[in-house]
Amino acid sequence: MGHYKANLRDIEFNLFEVFGRGEVFGQGPFADLDTETAREMLKEMARLAENEIAESFTDADRNPPVYDPVTQEVTMPESFKKSFDAYRESGFWNIDVPAELGGTVAPASFRWAMNEMILGANPAVAMFAASYSFAKLMHLYGNEDQKKLAKWIIEKGWHCTMVLTEPDAGSDVGAGRTKAIDNGDGTWRIEGVKRFITSAESDMVDNVVHFVLARPEGAGAGTKGLSLFVLSKYDVDLETGELGERNGVYVTNVEKKMGLKVSTTCELTFGGERPAVGTLFGDVHDGIAQMFHVIENARMLVGTKAIATLSTGYLNALEYAKARVQGADLTQMTDKSAPRVTITHHPDVRRSLMLQKAYAEGLRALVLFTATQQDAVEMGVFEAGTEKLERGTHGEIASRVNDLLLPIVKGLGSERAWVLLGSESLQTLGGSGFLQEYPIEQYVRDAKIDTLYEGTTAIQGMDFFFRKIIKDQAESLGLIAGQIQEVAKNAGTHGGALDREKELLGEGLDSVQGILGTMVDSLMKSDPRAEGGDVRNLYKVGQNTTRFLLGAGDLVVGWLLLRQAEVALDALAGTVSEKDKDFYTGKVAAARFYARQVLPRLAAERAMAEATDNDLMDVPESAF
């Protein structure tokens, strides 16, 4: 058995007891997947993740992929190949494949529950296997030839990549200079260099398909001038799937990284010995909108990866704490003859463990709640036969709520997981946590990247405020706030057991709304056309976008934990096994702890937001 510890009980609790996914399985587009089958698949995925997939986690970190600059090829660790093959042989990737291509249509909530376990056990396996979701995208939006290519991606298991970043542009995607030249025969020649490209090379497959943002000659500047092109390492006979000539796209470097070493992060050069030739995706010049289908899925994956790592980090820390005997109970510390106790008896260790538990389980609920919005979108799409849902339909509303939540999943999930893994999970083990004998030091190294790629936390905060709230006129936010308010005001249930926690939730909502109000006020005062308007007021907004994102995320997690606690109290009012009694008791304890120890911090965040001025922006650069 490997390092990974799946929390299958909590995954099922969220899916079936909190979010009622039993009502979705076997219905509508998901008619071929019933609840019993889904539970068996979850159980088998937990077993596979804890064993075959997790087995190579440590070895692949210590013996990372080897890049040969002469052949421009990569040799993967044999141990990792076995883990990757075990996942492919399991057939579980089938749930990411359209029915028309032989897949099993499954709710997004179920897909992300399954993905959590892969991402926690060995995240690079899931990242290399993301090709199936790329193929789904190509099947939905590609031209006829690209739809044929999608079929071969699935059948052959080829890697697929999202190719955005350039060395000089970084996060400013619109500054990209990679260009596309029309060959006049339906193909395009791509020229340029991209970097930080995940899964661009390995010896586990014989072809790689790249989705590349490039600027056609004569196109305008910025993101609006970008188009999306598809090209592969080798040409493909679309009728037989056979590989042909080598295409002119080359891996010219593989980065040496702090963590997540087995995931190849590559520099790609287009052109050189031979031209890099591809086709326009879907025959339309709509690159950034098309790529956002990939980006949004990637952001969900990154957030889920971070949260999955925090969960197994907590469970490893808990296991150690229950076994580690050290010191006497605090109430007997002056008695030198007092018996030694396990460190779970020490108050600060308990505080640390409960904080880890509350965030690990609350963030899991955040991922799966977000995925239930995707369920509604998918059901709406299937019912309407199109993705162009009319404004106001259930599917369209869910789509907008999903858009609102994605930066929270990615931003809050990655930030809280990275910090808690280092400051609490590793700390629980004391000096032993710093050793490679335990997996948590690798969790810390592997998790840091989650705050950086697919848009840093700062970018998520900007997106959350400007696009997901201001552009949306806060309608989606209002829907979530209304649900939070409903729980906060629902006092007196369960004998008043959660009344104080609900009061704190309401106060937290007021604090987050206060931060938003302060930011909106600064935004309005930044309009130079308004009386007394000063564009520099935008700096005040910019100083608070990350604070607002994380504060709103902490509030949503608190709300979801209280929802879980109410379900748990209902269960405890009936007859349950001793094991379930412990589980539900833990749910109530986590919600209470979080409400009392985390939500009050939001008041301080509001005070800091309201105190924001532009003195910081006036400090000369030389003074830093």
Task: For residue 118, give Cα distances in angstroms to 131, 145, 220.
Answer: 15, 32, 41
Amino acid identity for residue 595 in this structure? A
Q: How far is CA 179 from CA 25, 189, 227, in A?
A: 46, 8, 10
DSSP per-residue letters across 61-113: HHS--EEETTTTEEE--HHHHHHHHHHHHHTGGGGGS-GGGT-----HHHHHH
Beta strands in 255-389 (DSSP E): 265-270, 276-280, 325-328, 340-342
What CA–CA distance (Å, rounded) separates 504 from 496? Answer: 14
Residue given tokens 């295409």 in the structure block:
247
Q: Is 28 left (phi over 0), alpha (psi -120 to 50) or beta?
A: left
Partners of 161 in the beta sheet?
A: 210
| CA dist., res. 302 & res. 290, Å (int) | 19
Residue with tokens 């071969």: 152
Indicate the residue type of 273.
Answer: E
Radius of gyration (C-alpha) of the chain in whole angstroms = 25
CB 268 within 8 A of CB 208: no
Residue-wise DSSP of 112-126: HHHHHHHHHH-HHHH
First to last CA, the chain: 50
Tokens (6 digits) for 517? 């109000």
Q: Indicate the residue type of 569.
A: L
Q: Which amino acid type is present at position 13?
A: F
Distance CA(588)–CA(585), nearest Å, equals: 5
Tokens of 531: 């009386």
Instruction: Give the phi and the psi of residue 193 in degrees, each rounded to 5.
Output: -130, 135
Pairing of the two strands 208-216 and 179-182: parallel
Set 52, 116, 415, 454: catalytic member = 454
Task: Decide if 117 contacts 46 (C-beta within 8 A).
Answer: yes
* Among candidate residues 427, 426, 430, 460, the one with its CA nearest the CA of residue 440: 426
Catalytic-residue membership of 454: yes
CA torsion through residues 471, 370, 118, 93, sign: negative
Q: Which residues of 497-536 are buried (b: 16+ CB within 10 A; e: fewer)?
A: ebeebbebbbbbbebbbbbbebbeebbebbeeeeeeeeee
Which amino acid would we find at residue 556?
Answer: V
Sign for the pseudo-dihedral over CA of 312, 589, 372, 553: negative
Active site residue ranges: 454
